[in-house]
Amino acid sequence: MHGSPNGSPATPVTDIDGARFRSVLGRFATGVVAITAIEPETGRPTGLAANSFTSVSLEPPLVAFCVAHTSTSWPRLRPAERLCINILSEPQLEVCKRLAIKGGDKFADIEWSGSPNGSPVIEGALAWIECTVEQEHVAGDHVIVVARVHALDKHHEGDPLLFYKGGYGRFDG
Ligand SMILES: Cc1cc2nc3c(=O)[nH]c(=O)nc-3n(C[C@H](O)[C@H](O)[C@H](O)COP(=O)(O)O)c2cc1C
């Protein structure tokens, strides 16, 4: 074990407690996206909220996000021809919470319209990014999904929904 700069022993690299992991990683502020698609089986929109979204590459245009193996929405989203990443705005907290609940018709109270390719773009989102799954990498209890961007646009103007220390906040820029 190596010492830390203040002389106390550093945290061992094994045996990381889940609560500690979450509280330390929660100090990394993120935005929140809604990953949506038209479910091929029902023809209805579905989705999930995620803060693990990131831009990856411009040439080719790639983005990525991580999905838990326990997600019941991902197996319904995955077979869709296109996925749509909706960047959520601060007034969309209820949309975020709705899409984070397991089960039921997640879109029952959510207003949306079709992108030019028919993907679900949620009313009030700051932007949408339409993509297809390019690679999937199993990483522990999640899968890292790398997706190729085919179309994207700004949508509404406004402030982003931020996720920090397990709670929601706003950007005071
Ligand atoms: C702010 C926020 C961020 C989330 N980020 C992720 C994420 O990056 N990956 C993930 O698999 N689930 C994430 N979730 C959980 C999913 O939104 C959802 O609750 C989970 O997939 C269970 O629902 P499902 O069974 O319908 O998929 C997040 C939830 C919230 C509220």
Strand pairing report for 45-50 and 127-139? unpaired
> Which atom of ligand 1 has the smallest separation from the CA of 32?
1
**Class level of CATH domain 29-163:** mainly beta
The ligand 1 site (C-beta within 6 Å) comprises 32, 48-52, 65-68, 71-74, 96, 99-100, 102, 163
Is 142 exposed, middle or buried, given 0-12, 13-18 or 19+ CB atoms closer than 10 A?
A: middle
Q: What does the alpha-carbon distance between residue 84 and residue 151 come to, in Å, rounded to a whole number? A: 9
Three-point CA angle 138, 144, 148, nearest 5°: 130
- One pLDDT digit (tens) per residue for the chain, 173 residues: 344 455 455 555 568 999 999 999 999 999 999 999 999 999 999 999 999 999 999 999 999 999 999 999 999 999 999 999 999 999 999 999 999 999 999 999 999 999 999 999 999 999 999 999 999 999 999 999 999 999 999 999 999 999 999 999 988 87
Contact status, residue 49 vs residue 99, Cβ threshold 8 Å: yes
pLDDT confidence of residue 13: 59
pLDDT confidence of residue 20: 94
pLDDT confidence of residue 172: 80
Three-point CA angle 88, 37, 154, nearest 5°: 40
Q: What does the alpha-carbon distance between residue 152 and residue 150 come to, in Å, rounded to a whole number? A: 7
Residue in the structure block whose two tokens are 């990014």 = 129
Domain boundaries, the chain: 29-163
Nearest residue by C-alpha to atom 31 in ligand 1: 100
